[in-house]
Chains A and B, each alone.
Chain A
Amino acid sequence: MKLFGKQPMIWGLIGAIAISVVLAGAGAFTARAADPIKIGFGMALTGGLSANGKPALLAMQIWKDAINKKGGLLGRPVELVFYDDQTNPATVPGIYSKLLDVDKVHLVVSGYGTNLIAPLMPIAMERKLTVLGIFGLANNEKYHYPNYFQISPTGPDPATSTATGFFELAAKQTPKPQTVALVGADAEYPQTALVGARELIKRYGFKTVYDKTYPPSTADFTPIVRAIKATNPEIVFVASYPPDSVGMLRAAHEVSLQPKLFGGGMVGLQFTTIMASMGPMLNGIVNYDYWVPEPTMMFPGIQEFFKEYQPRAAKEGVDTLGYYLPPYAYAAMQVLGQAVETTKGLDQQKIADYIRATEFNTIVGKIKFGKDGEWAKGRTLMVQYQKVQGNNIEQFRGPGKKPVLYPEELKSGTIIYPYSAALK
């Protein structure tokens, strides 16, 4: 009787323990499954590059919200852990050390821009990280690090990418223009772009009549533009940062500099506030770009992205149209997300191998990475500002104001040549 009396108690105890263990295990499992996948990065939220850093961050947050709405990655929510790098490369090593050692992020992407990616490269190589670079120009050219991938469509030869379409268009004109003036800022991107431009000048047989650089804090571009005008060039290629682009363009109008082809690598003319303020002064400029609202550029998902991005950008006071960088920052996250989902884990090497071997369908079109992690085939656009009237930003939302002239497969308009014809 005693035995029978005790048995249910013993079995009950064992059962309770077993259930507790199972439940505890399930609990632990549930907790693990709910642990977020942390993606870490530094981003220029203040300082010189913050005008692009903030829109990039917003695009990444939109991706995170969208992916979490669908249930996250591998059934786990995604969390972005980021710090302001203040557009200061010196902050980058500290930020990524904290992200990896303290915040224990699972994946990293870079901050915005060449100068901020450069200090990340040694850390990535030392820790064997897979890195998605956001708009870096030739960061991996010397390292050849296999697990680095870069999202801007500069292609396998980043140095010449900005200028290729510009000089190809110049060479196609009849009669072919002969003389070129080159001018750019004393900074990393313009210097690289100028190196590429010099190479292309040789390739197409143009003659350089002016080739100078200026310090980034130049206040008056009139003397520079006047000196360029004195050499009477048929082509003027400019590699400049936003304030310089504005200064150069205004000075060109004040001095009546009217070469046959003008523009090339002017950063900033793609930004909403600058486009709105400069208005008709932009007409005729042939400049590089990465995305414009032309029919040939409407890749699946891009319009949905802008529907989400533009109202949020207006609220946050960042680039309202967001055509330049945000779609690419989003696409970088799409690439990373797809790699994690398909490899079913967070193994850095497996993710890198997958990215290297795969062609991705993103909101900026198909992306296949090649040499040094750059796009296998470059796709830097050359567009021309045409028929811009007044300072209304709405005119830039539709097609026709910035038709694509290059590459041929994305062409959506015809060049107005020479430059002076577009000013009428």
Chain B
Amino acid sequence: MFSWDLLANAVVAGLLLGGFYAAVSLGIGLVFGLLDIANIAQPAFLILGAYATYVMNESFGFDPILSGILFTPVFYLIGAAVYRIYYSSFERRGEESLRGLVFFFGILFILEVSLSLKFGVDYRLVQAGYIGKSIEFAGVGIAFRYLIPCVVGLAMTGALYLFLGRTFYGRAIMAVSQDQGALRLMGANPVHIKTIAFGVGIAAASLAGALLITISPVVPSTDRDYIGRMFAITVLGGMGSIGGTLVAAVLLGVTESLMSTFAGPSWSQAVSFGILLLVLAVRPAGLFGR
């Protein structure tokens, strides 16, 4: 069944999927990879972002991507508030390991149940003129439903990369991930910096939620499909490496797409996670981890 046409299409579809996976994983890369906080509630914020987008699209006809962008400040504040509670209840007392994990599990569960109570359990979709349409270049089809999330994902990656590398707060976040004590000696408050980082991570998840609902329908429990994928991409890319997250996401996307096209879709995720295990065996810190 092999043909160059199929191969080109599979690679392009994989690249597009990878861009979306990167958007989904950036937040957890920041929170888990840099701050070392095992926020297992991150996928719940992804779904919360998807529902916020759904409400704006359904009630006011807002474009899903625009809605996602508009909601990022709100989710930043939510993220900052969640971190403050986490800090004062667990991290400050040195009880962040197991109890902190339970705290985030609780948030995940509460958000899921709240969404079920508010919106019911029907599948929710959004409408946009570009959903279901595609363009073709030299025999390669590109679906807008994946192209736009990919572009947004790449933009998010670039913005976060620049933020972390070029701004004061970004550098402070990098510093807090390496040595909190040294940062304190420099006169910066690590808690304040981590609050900002956590807020940015949750805002990124909410925007990724807007991309998710553009691609496929969601129910409150859709978050469970993404927990494994988000953490796997972060670990594969190397904890705390934004560029690594993008490379890992694209690697997983292209692998899934190639396997789906040529070997059978059943193999796609098994092979993707096989690659993860192989990379970790050779480079335990991930592709770009230090």
Which residues of chain A have a CB within 8 Å of any CB of chain B?
A: 45-48, 50-51, 53-54, 87, 186, 212-215, 217-220, 222-224, 226-227, 230-231, 242-243, 246-247, 250-251, 253-255, 268, 271-274, 277-278, 281, 316-319, 391
Q: A242-B217, A246-B217, A250-B132 are in contact. Are A54 and B121 (CB under 8 A)?
A: yes
Pick the residue among B20, B131, B220, B268 that contacts A214 (CB under 8 A). B268
Are A227 and B262 in contact (CB-based, < 8 A)?
yes
Are B265 and A51 in contact (CB-based, < 8 A)?
no
- Pick 5 A–B contacts, CB within 8 A, sort by A: A215-B268, A242-B217, A243-B123, A243-B216, A278-B125
Pick the residue among B113, B123, B141, B266 that contacts A51 (CB under 8 A). B123
In whole angstroms, how far apart are the Cα atoms of A318 and B168 in the complex? 49
Q: Which has the most chain B C-beta neighbours within 10 Å: A46, A220, A319? A: A220
Are A242 and B260 in contact (CB-based, < 8 A)?
no
- Asked if B9 is an interface residue, CB under 8 A from chain A, the answer is yes
A183 to chain B, nearest CB (A): 8
Q: A219-B20, A250-B132, A281-B132 are in contact. Are A212 and B10 (CB under 8 A)?
A: no
Are A48 and B221 in contact (CB-based, < 8 A)?
yes
- Asked if B120 is an interface residue, CB under 8 A from chain A, the answer is yes
Which residues of chain B have a CB within 8 Å of any CB of chain A?
A: 1, 3, 6, 9-10, 13-14, 16-17, 20-21, 112-113, 116, 118-127, 131-134, 141, 143, 145-146, 215-217, 219-222, 225, 229, 253, 256-258, 260-262, 264-266, 268-269
Q: Which residues on the A side are within 8 Å of B120 (C-beta)?
A: 51, 54, 316-318
Q: Which residues on the A side are within 8 Å of B6 (C-beta)?
A: 226-227, 230
Are A214 and B265 in contact (CB-based, < 8 A)?
yes
In whole angstroms, how far apart are the Cα atoms of A218 and B270 in the complex? 12
Cβ-closest 6 pairs across A and B: A317-B120, A214-B265, A277-B125, A50-B121, A223-B260, A254-B143
In whole angstroms, how far apart are the Cα atoms of A310 and B238 in the complex? 51
Pick the residue among B123, B132, B261 that contacts A227 (CB under 8 A). B261
Q: Which residues on the B side are within 8 Å of A87 (C-beta)?
A: 221
Q: Which residues on the A side are within 8 Å of B257 (C-beta)?
A: 220, 222-223
Are B260 and A246 in contact (CB-based, < 8 A)?
no
Q: Which has the most chain B C-beta neighbours within 10 Å: A186, A251, A391? A: A251
Q: Which residues on the B side are within 8 Å of A391 (C-beta)?
A: 127
